[in-house]
Amino acid sequence: MNGAGPVHIVGGGLAGSEAAWQIAKAGISAVIHEMRPGHKTDVHQTDDLAELVCSNSFRSDDAEYNAVGLLHEEMRRCRSLILAMADENKVPAGGALAVDRDAFSGAVTRTILKEPLISIERGEIDGLPPEDWASVIIATGPLTSAPLAEAIQQLTGEDSLAFFDAIAPIIYTESIDLDKAWFQSRYDKPGPGGTGKDYINCPMNKDQYLAFLSALREAEKAEFKEWEENTPYFEGCLPIEVMASRGEDTLRYGPMKPVGLTNPHTGAHEYAIVQLRQDNTLGTLYNIVGFQTKLKYAEQSRVFRMIPGLENATFARLGGIHRNTFLNSPRLLDAELRLKAMPRLRFAGQITGVEGYVESAAMGLLAGRFAVADISGESFLPPPETTALGALIAHITAGADGDTFQPMNVNFGLFPPLEKRIKGRERKKGYTDRALDHLETWQNPTVAAE
């Protein structure tokens, strides 16, 4: 296969570097087009590939009980460059995999520079990639430069590309107390494709509402970064605490309006109601409708557990609002991360609507493998949904709802339920055991068949 290609990769971040590595290891050439240092982003500080823009942590490294730890392990087994360099440059961080950031990105850069099948061209791609680039991976990340973002938006449509995420907290369905909450759509409307019982509703009486309101107003908030301050989230997508500060009834007439809903446990019409909407096809995750927030993470857990029915809620992800360029992948991408409207363009990294360093690199790994399969004419099936890699790609390309799509990090709520019901912590072990078992079969199908 030596000499085939090249695959053009736009963006030399975590996803782009990983994709290039996977392609080169299959004997195919890759060109990384990276705009730094000539053209900078608002947050990158160096010229290095795979620069970590904020924390130096790849989060938990526990492959037995944690979904991101499992993703680490799966990527190691798939010979990920990013995981190998992280392991080589790790610093003590308890159960987390944290790295010396300069040593890490320096090592990724040197390793790629030494790889004869990868070349790096420094310069911004300021529109759709040239037509004679037959195979392209766009991995330009949450801070994709404006001209390229605009070109993608023109190709795919106005609502297809977001420039900010506005994430409401997402909760594991099983942790919601249905002795207090109940399933019902407003006015029992089935709507298109619904049942009339599509939302989970959490009731509040007046005292509970007022206590919740003051907790929201007083809770500690995270600040916008200076370069994010002029965010266009205003009005359309106000943080819940901003709505709370506008007046006593703003929330009761907004996302917490109680009309059209009756509490079946008491028969009462409630003073205010918090609604949760199904977040994935499996129904294992629900998001709190209209609760995008800039509250600090610890404050979110504390304040949102004041909601009746959510006292013991476990969060698959907490809310946030950030500058973040991402595609409406469930609508736009096929199962192999190709843009349906222009299949020579494949996407990888945070721009596909995953969230986090590891998840971004994971989508780079898969995009690289898909590109190799296209060029070599071999078939490459995505990893099964029971693995962390497979659950993540299935979520962004199919499982998530295109109407409400927001970036997602890996969590067990994305995995199909276990065949056997196991309770508590051991259920996590059930997921990870099954994942690594299925990953092995996926990697060695012939051995498994013998």
Ligand X SMILES: Cc1cc2nc3c(=O)[nH]c(=O)nc-3n(C[C@H](O)[C@H](O)[C@H](O)COP(=O)(O)OP(=O)(O)OC[C@H]3O[C@@H](n4cnc5c(N)ncnc54)[C@H](O)[C@@H]3O)c2cc1C
All residues at 6 or more sequence positions from 324 whose CB lies less than 8 Å from its CB, including other chains: 142, 162, 163, 164, 165, 350, 407
**Residue 68 C-beta-side C-alpha neighbours within 13 Å:** 22
Distance of CA 316 to CAs 54, 60, 169, 172, Å? 21, 14, 8, 6
106 lines the binding site for ligand X (CB under 6 A):
no
Q: How far apart are CA 154 and CA 346, in angstroms?
A: 17
DSSP reduced 3-state for 290 = coil
44 lines the binding site for ligand X (CB under 6 A):
yes
Q: How far apart are CA 243 and CA 267, in angstroms?
A: 29
Chain positions 341 to 400 lying near ligand X, rule: CB under 6 A, are: 349-351, 356-357, 360
Q: How far is the CB of 49 from ligand X (least distance, A)?
A: 7
Q: Which two tokens stand for residue 415?
A: 């995995």
Comparing CB distances to ligand X, the nearer of 104 and 357 is 357
34 lines the binding site for ligand X (CB under 6 A):
yes
53 lines the binding site for ligand X (CB under 6 A):
yes
Preceding peptide of 382 cis, ω within 30°: no
240 lines the binding site for ligand X (CB under 6 A):
no
Q: How far is the CB of 13 from ligand X (least distance, A)?
A: 2
Q: How far is the CB of 71 from ligand X (least distance, A)?
A: 12
55 lines the binding site for ligand X (CB under 6 A):
yes
Comparing CB distances to ligand X, the nearer of 173 and 350 is 350
Query: Token match 């945070």: residue?
Result: 350
Q: How far apart are CA 253 and CA 250, in angstroms?
A: 5
Q: How far is the CB of 69 from ligand X (least distance, A)?
A: 14
Partner residues linked to 10 by β-bridges = 33, 138
Q: How far is the CB of 264 from ligand X (least distance, A)?
A: 41
Comparing CB distances to ligand X, the nearer of 51 and 385 is 51
Comparing CB distances to ligand X, the nearer of 140 and 293 is 140
Identify the residue among 124, 150, 198, 433 touching ligand X (CB under 6 A): 124
Q: How far apart are CA 52 and CA 101, in angstroms?
A: 6
Q: How far is the CB of 51 from ligand X (least distance, A)?
A: 7
Considering only 21-29, 138-146, 200-208, 214-222, which stretch makes contact with ligand X by CB under 6 A?
138-146
Positions touching ligand X (CB under 6 A) are 10-16, 33-36, 41, 43-44, 53-55, 124-125, 139-145, 148, 323, 349-351, 356-357, 360
